[in-house]
């Protein structure tokens, strides 16, 4: 049989048709990629057209509104696709660890499975002497044909991602599911051959005289092990171990499969090996380019030629801020990088969202990259412990970076921008906000709503001053901006947090005397009984739209931004709003969307509960407003970054 049953006496009559099916598989993959390229091209054209309209027709009221028939057809198809693909279930309680796919991903996986089921069953179910071998042989071809796709989707230097204009982390879910489907088809292949051997009573003989069968069983066992360790609970148990064993298992799997597969099908294995080696070579080259400086400009203050100076600061008991100095590279808001600190993890490289925005300079510009890392276990815990231990004496380390990775949308091409994040998810949304407000070119953005959800007030120390600066800049640019911080885990009142050592930068001074007594009395009476209170300074328009259950209290004028980085003297109507409740995401989204005459973009970064809520709310709102279906309501774009490890 030679491994997959491909060299048995009856195999040659199966081979031509199965080879044709294998070619058909890649034709379908190529067709899907071509379709995605066309869609991405239309999106790029749409973005260019919007920015062009703003540049040439300054008085245009809604530059992001679709006004020509061909693009209206595309917009309607896009809206229908979004409404079908955005919704996502989120089980709670005992099943909270499940991570259900969004409906769009479910549809895609079902279509992929339907294609494979057709390929597996077409003209194969015939009640003759070759039935078991025919099905097993077909399963073998389908399985080995999928192997290159698994490794292509796993590559961080993703060829597929580059072609269709997306990044590797947004293809990782597909890598996992194609791997699981590969396990299923390999199981079908092995089961039918094993069933044939049992029926003929020569299992022992097959295993004795056909050593390649053992390698096939080993490859199947490795795939089962990889499947089990890739499940979310197992990954969370010891993530660093998962990564290391996953790399080793992927290499051993290819070796076992190479021996198992006959020569005429081995090109699939070479394809997978080529994808793996290409990824490693490109990543190694990028690592060297990013971390070795052969020549330096005289104006450059960088002292290290190998690696970068890295400083760690414990922002609070649960967050550590990592600063990489003297970085000479460009990045976009929303991208991430891999960080390697040999002192804290000799074999560990971890991805973190870039929490700082890129700043331009005329000469040699040694930029700084910051990461706000939530303390979990393993590397993040060691980093926080090291930062606390060396806070007074200085804790500079030598680190290495790789990247940046990610293909964020053109945020400036939307009229309204809604940014929602939880805890350190603000590392994703804050640079987007700062980049839009600092953009020197023409932008379509007229309105920004920013929401940050945290459990404790100390979690926002890294962001609040930057948010105040952003409010000042938005006002200077004539952009309507609303910022809200929802603190959901603190039982303490607002006045209690003011007496804490970890207060906001703009609230360290004493409140005006005429406001202090009223504010204290109002907050202490109601805060513990009604966490829905919102301590915020509102203008008359905002106050009229607030619910009756919310109480408002004026905050000190020092909440305004008064520093050299941005305009000072923010008007009272542009203060940060603070609430002590879980925000109503649907209501938060509906307000700015209904005020928008053009297209809206929603960006969310957080845990699976927040992401699922935003997905469902956006889909429901799009359906309720009948977006691009004759009502005049414009599209709602959604970009998701989810905590996932």
The C-alpha atoms of residue 249 and residue 238 are separated, in whole angstroms, by 16
List, as one string, the DSSP characters of 12-40: GGTHHHHHHHHHHHHHHHHHHHHHHHHHH
**β strands within 285-376, DSSP E:** 308-314, 319-327, 336-340, 350-353, 367-374
Q: pLDDT, tens digit, for every residue of 94-107?
A: 776 677 889 999 99
pLDDT at 524: 36
The pLDDT > 70 percentage for the chain reads 80
State pLDDT tens for residues 432-465: 999 998 887 778 888 899 999 988 887 787 888 8
Looking at residue 607, its pLDDT comes to 84
Pairing relationship of beta strands 447-454 and 534-535 according to DSSP bridges: unpaired
| 324-354 pLDDT tens trace | 888 888 888 888 999 988 888 888 888 888 9
Give the domain ranges of the chain: 2-87+127-285, 308-405, 411-492+517-642
Of 199 and 639, which is predicted with more confidence?
Answer: 639
Could you tell me if 320 and 405 are in contact, meaning their C-beta atoms sit under 8 angstroms apart?
no
Q: Which of 23-32, 40-49, 238-247, 401-410 has the largest mean confidence?
A: 23-32
Given this model, what pLDDT does residue 527 score? 39
**Across residues 590-609, what is the average pLDDT?**
89
Fold adopted by 308-405:
Elongation Factor Tu (Ef-tu); domain 3 (2.40.30)
Q: In angstroms, what CA-CA distances link 367 with 300, 323, 330, 361, 564?
A: 10, 10, 9, 9, 19
CATH fold of the domain at 411-492+517-642: Rossmann fold (3.40.50)
Q: What is the pLDDT of residue 169?
A: 85
Q: Does residue 119 register a pLDDT over 50?
A: yes
- Whether the pLDDT of residue 111 is over 90: the answer is yes
Q: Is the pLDDT of residue 128 over 50?
A: yes
Residue 17 predicted with pLDDT over 70: yes
Per the confidence metrics, is the pTM higher than 0.75?
yes
Tell me if 185 sits within 8 A of 136, measured CB to CB.
Answer: no
pLDDT band at 184 (very low <50, low <70, confident <90, very high): very high
Structure confidence at residue 2 (pLDDT): 41
């Amino acid at each position: 049989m030679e491994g997959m049953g491909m060299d048995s006496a009856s195999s040659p009559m199966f081979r031509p048709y199965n080879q044709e099916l294998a070619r058909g598989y890649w034709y379908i993959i190529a067709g899907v990629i071509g379709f995605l390229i066309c869609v991405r091209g239309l999106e790029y054209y749409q973005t260019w057209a919007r920015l062009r309209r703003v540049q040439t027709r300054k008085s245009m009221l809604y530059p992001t509104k679709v006004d020509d028939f061909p693009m209206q057809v595309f917009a309607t198809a896009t809206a229908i696709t979004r409404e079908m693909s955005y919704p996502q279930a989120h089980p709670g309680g005992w099943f909270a660890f499940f991570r259900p796919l969004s409906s769009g991903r479910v549809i895609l996986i079902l279509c992929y499975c339907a294609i494979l089921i057709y390929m597996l069953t077409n003209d194969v179910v015939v009640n003759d002497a070759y039935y078991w071998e025919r099905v097993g042989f077909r399963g073998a071809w389908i399985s080995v044909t999928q192997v290159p796709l698994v490794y292509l989707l796993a590559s961080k230097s993703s060829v597929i991602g580059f072609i269709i204009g997306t990044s590797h982390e947004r293809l990782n879910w597909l890598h996992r599911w194609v791997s699981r489907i590969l396990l299923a088809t390999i199981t079908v292949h092995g089961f039918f051959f094993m069933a044939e051997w049992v029926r003929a009573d020569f299992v022992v003989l097959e295993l004795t005289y056909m050593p390649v069968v053992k390698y096939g069983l080993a490859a199947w066992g490795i795939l089962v092990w990889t499947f089990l360790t890739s499940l979310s609970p197992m990954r969370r148990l010891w993530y660093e171990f998962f990564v290391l064993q996953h790399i080793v298992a992927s290499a051993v799997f290819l070796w076992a499969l190479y021996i198992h597969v006959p020569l005429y099908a081995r090109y699939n294995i070479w394809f997978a090996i080529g994808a793996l080696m290409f990824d490693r070579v490109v990543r190694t080259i990028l690592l060297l380019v990013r971390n070795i400086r052969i020549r330096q400009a005289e104006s450059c203050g960088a002292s290290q030629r190998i690696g970068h100076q890295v400083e760690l600061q414990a922002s609070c008991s649960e967050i550590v801020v990592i600063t990489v100095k003297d970085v000479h590279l460009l990045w976009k808001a929303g991208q991430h990088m891999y960080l390697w600190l040999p002192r804290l993890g000799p074999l560990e490289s971890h991805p973190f969202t870039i929490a700082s925005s890129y700043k331009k300079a005329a000469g040699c510009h040694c930029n700084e990259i910051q990461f706000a890392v939530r303390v979990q276990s393993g590397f993040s815990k060691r980093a926080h412990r090291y930062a606390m231990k060396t806070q007074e004496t200085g804790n500079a380390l030598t680190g290495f970076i790789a990247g940046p990775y990610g293909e964020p949308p053109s945020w400036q091409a939307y009229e309204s921008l809604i940014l929602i994040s939880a805890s350190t998810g603000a590392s994703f949304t804050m640079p987007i906000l700062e980049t839009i407000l600092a953009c020197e070119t023409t932008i379509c953005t007229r309105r920004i709503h920013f929401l940050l959800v945290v459990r404790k007030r100390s979690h926002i120390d890294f962001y609040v001053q930057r948010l105040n600066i952003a409010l000042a800049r938005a006002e200077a640019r004539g952009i309507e901006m609303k910022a809200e911080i929802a603190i959901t885990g603190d039982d303490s009142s607002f006045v209690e947090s003011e007496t804490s050592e970890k207060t906001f930068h703009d609230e360290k001074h004493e409140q005006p005397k005429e406001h202090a007594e009223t504010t204290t009395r109002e907050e202490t009476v109601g805060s513990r009984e009604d966490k829905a209170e919102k301590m915020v300074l509102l203008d008359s328009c905002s106050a009229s739209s607030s619910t009756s259950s919310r109480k408002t209290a004026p905050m000190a004028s020092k909440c305004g931004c008064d520093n050299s980085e941005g305009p000072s003297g923010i008007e009272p109507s542009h203060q940060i709003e603070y609430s002590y409740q879980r925000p109503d995401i649907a209501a938060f989204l509906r307000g700015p969307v209904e005020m928008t005459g053009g297209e809206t973009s929603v960006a969310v970064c957080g845990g699976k509960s927040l992401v699922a809520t935003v997905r469902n709310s956006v889909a429901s709102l799009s359906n309720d407003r009948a977006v691009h279906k004759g009502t005049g309501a414009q599209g709602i774009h959604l970009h998701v970054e989810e905590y996932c490890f």
